[in-house]
Amino acid sequence: MNRSVIIDGSVIYTNFSQIMGHRKFEELLSEFINVLKSKNSPLLKSLNAFKIGNEFDVKRLVEYLHLLSMRNIKDITNIMNYINPNDLEKFIEGFYSFWRNKHRFMIRQEKYVDDYNRRASLEYTMTMVGDQFKAVIKNLYRQILSNITNEFPKIMRQLPSGAQVMFLYDFIKCENFGNVNYEKIPTIWGAIFDPPAIFYTKSNKRKGTVPVETTNSILEKIELNPKEWFRIPIFVGNLLFFNFVHKEYLAHGAGLANLFEIASPKVAKNQKPDGIIIFGLDSKLIPNYTEKWKNAVVFKDESYNIYIGIIPDFEENDYFGYMKKTTLTVHNLIKIDKNKLPIHGSMAQITLKSGKSAVAMFVGDSGAGKSETLDALNRLDEVAEVNIIIDDMGSLDIADGKVVAFGTETGAFVRLDDLPPGYAYHTMDRSIFMNPDKVNARVIVPFNNYKEIIKPTPIDFFFYANNYTEVKNDNERIIFFKNPEEALVVFSEGKRKAKGTTSEVGLTTSYFANPFGAVQMKEKHHKIAEKFMKKMFETGVKVGEIRTMLGVEGYEKEGTLLAAKALLKLIEQI
C-alpha cells in the first residue's frame, strides 16, 4: 500500500471530473476497498450493488459517485439496485478520512530563475494551484454527502484535504560532479507548506550508530529511477549535500526543507557536493549489502572523494531521525577530516533585560536536556532574548585566537514530550509534526536564518548536559572543571539517562555524547578535542557541567527550569 500520493501541480483543478476521472482516484478507491476487505468491515455492505462474485466493480462505483456529485441519490435510484443512503454516507466519510491520512504532495516543474521577483511569482502560482485543488476536493466531498443525505451541513469544517506540501522542481546537470546517473532525477528548489503538516511514520526511534566503510566507485553502482526519486540539495552548515529521497518517504524530504537551508540549483549545478544521502533504497540495490547496514551506513567513496550515507528501505527506518542523523554523521566525518571539532549539542546567545549577554553551548546526546534548557531560559522574565544558533549539531574552529562555533541547521527536530504543553500550539503554523500522538512525538520547526548559523560565534560557556544527577542545592546545578584533563574525562564518557528517543534504556554512555562521526573516528577526534579543550581553558571559556535532571523521575519539567535559573545567575554576574 502506497502511503504517499503525488499530485500533478501542472494541472489547474476546477471541476469534479478532473478528480474522479483520474486513474489515481480509481486506484485510491480500490486500495480503500481492499483495506476494508482485509478488516471485514461493515462499511462494505454499502457496496453490495457493485459486487460481482467476491470482487467489486470499482469502475461502476466511480461512475455512480460521479453522478452523485451532480444529482440527488433519489434521482438515480433507477440506475442501480437499491443502495442504503446511511451506509453509503458512512462509506464516503471513511473514504475521505482514508484520503486525508495519506501523505499528500503536489509537484510542479518550473525552471529556476535568479530573479527573486520571478521566483516569487512561480511560488505564488503554485500556491494558487494548491489552494484550488484543496477547494475542489472539499467541495466534492461536501457535494456527494449533500446529495446522499439530502441536506447541507450546518457546521462546515475546513479540514486539511489538499496537498500538505507543494514542491517546485527542475532538472539540473551538475558541471563539477560527473555522475550521470543522477542528472535525470528531479531537483527540488522550492517548497510550500500548508500547515499544520502532520505525518505518521512507521517508526519513531532510531537505533545504534552508523557504520562507516571505505570503498571505490559505489556511486556508479547505484542507479535511482527518476520516476521514483527526488533530489533535495541542502546546506548542512557550510557544506553542500545532495539528499536523494524516494517518493514513499517524501515526508522526510519535507522535513529537510524545514530543518536545513535549501541550496539553489545554481549552486548545485556549479559546486561539487561535499556529501550525499540516499533515503529509502532497496537493500538489494546496495552493493555487498550486510545486515549491520540495516538502519544506515556511510561509505567513503575514494574514487569520488566523497561520503555517501544510505538509509535502506525498511519500515523500522521510517523515522526522520535517520534522515537527520545520517546527514549530520557525514557532516561530522568531513569536519574531522578537516581537523575541526564536531559538537553534538545546542548553543544560543542569551541576552538579559539588564543588557548583559553570553553565549552558552550545551553538549549532550539525545534527551540530555539541551533544547529544553534553552526553552526554559526563554520563559524566564529576566531574559530578553534567546537567540538559538545551534539546536543539535555544530562544529568548533579557532579564529583570531578564539574558539568559535558554527551551526548546521536552521530548524529544530524537537521532542514534544519534554516541552511545555503550549509549545506545539505556539509553533503549529510553521511546523511539521511527526507522530504527535505517540511517545517521542516530534516537531520540525525553523528557528533561525542561514546567515546567522554559519557566522563564527565566540563561546563564553561550554557545558556538558548531565540529565541523570539529582541535585537539591542550587549551587550544585552548575559546576566548573579545574583543568582540560578533568573536563575531557566527563565529555569523553558521554553519560546520560536514555529518554526513549532511541532504542537505548537506562544509564548509557556515548563517546563525547556524539555517536555521529566522533565514535567512528575516535582516535583522530580525541586529538582534536584535546586541542580545543586546552584552547578554551587558555582563552577564558568557562567549561563545566549543567545538571538538567531531565532523566530524573519527578524533575522532567522542573529540572531544566532550575538549571536555566542557575545559568541566569551566572550571566548576571558577568
- pLDDT digit string (tens) for 363-388? 998 888 898 899 899 999 999 999 99
pLDDT of residue 208: 80
pLDDT of residue 327: 98
pLDDT tops 70 at residue 78: no
pLDDT tens readout for residues 182-209: 888 999 999 999 988 999 999 988 888 8
Q: What is the mean pLDDT of the chain?
A: 92
Q: Which of 261, 319, 293 is nearest to 450 (CA)?
A: 261
pLDDT tens readout for residues 210-258: 999 999 888 888 989 999 999 999 999 999 999 999 999 999 999 999 9
pLDDT of residue 102: 96
Percent of the residues in the chain that have a pLDDT greater than 70, as a whole number: 96
User: Cα–Cα distance between 278 and 246 in angstroms, integer?
Assistant: 8
Cell reading at 90 = 458512512
Confidence of residue 261 (pLDDT cuts 50, 70, 90): very high
The mean pLDDT value for 251-276 works out to 95
pLDDT of residue 425: 63
Q: Is residue 410 a contact partner of residue 259, using CB atoms and an 8 Å limit?
A: yes
pLDDT of residue 2: 83
Confidence of residue 503 (pLDDT cuts 50, 70, 90): low
pLDDT tens readout for residues 138-151: 999 999 999 999 88
pLDDT tens readout for residues 507-519: 889 999 999 999 9
DSSP conformational letter for 162: S
The mean pLDDT value for 422-426 works out to 62
Which of 244-258, 261-275, 406-420, 436-450 has the lowest average pLDDT?
406-420
pTM of the model: 0.92
| CATH architecture for segment(s) 341-410+448-572 | Alpha-Beta Complex (3.90)
Surface-to-core class of residue 19, CB atoms within 10 Å of its CB (0-12 exposed, 13-18 middle, 19+ buried): middle
The mean pLDDT value for 543-566 works out to 93
pLDDT of residue 76: 82
User: How far apart, in Å, do the first and last CA atoms of the chain sit?
Assistant: 59
The set of residues, in sequence order, having a beta carbon less than 8 Å from that of 16 and lying 6+ positions away, is: 66, 69, 70, 136, 139, 140, 143
pLDDT tops 60 at residue 501: no
Q: Crossing angle of helices 522-538/320-337, nearest 10°? A: 70
pLDDT tops 90 at residue 429: no
CA distances from 278 to 229, 245, 247, 283, 419 (A): 10, 6, 12, 12, 32
pLDDT of residue 74: 85
Which of the four CATH numbers 3.30.70, 3.40.1620, 3.40.449, 2.40.160 does domain 165-337 have? 3.40.449
Cell reading at 444 = 520540525
pLDDT tens readout for residues 98-149: 999 999 999 999 999 999 899 999 999 999 999 999 999 999 999 999 999 9
The mean pLDDT value for 445-470 works out to 94
The set of residues, in sequence order, having a beta carbon less than 8 Å from that of 44 and lying 6+ positions away, is: 33, 36, 37
* Placement of cell 538559538 in the chain: 388
Domain limits of the chain?
Answer: 4-149, 165-337, 341-410+448-572
Confidence of residue 424 (pLDDT cuts 50, 70, 90): low
User: Cα–Cα distance between 242 and 231 in angstroms, integer?
Assistant: 6
CB contact burial 531-548 (16+ within 10 A = b; e otherwise): ebbebbbeeebbbebbbb
pLDDT tops 70 at residue 545: yes
Cell reading at 279 = 533515503
Question: Collapsing DSSP states into helix, strand and coil, what is residue 247?
Answer: helix
pLDDT of residue 375: 87
The mean pLDDT value for 299-303 works out to 92
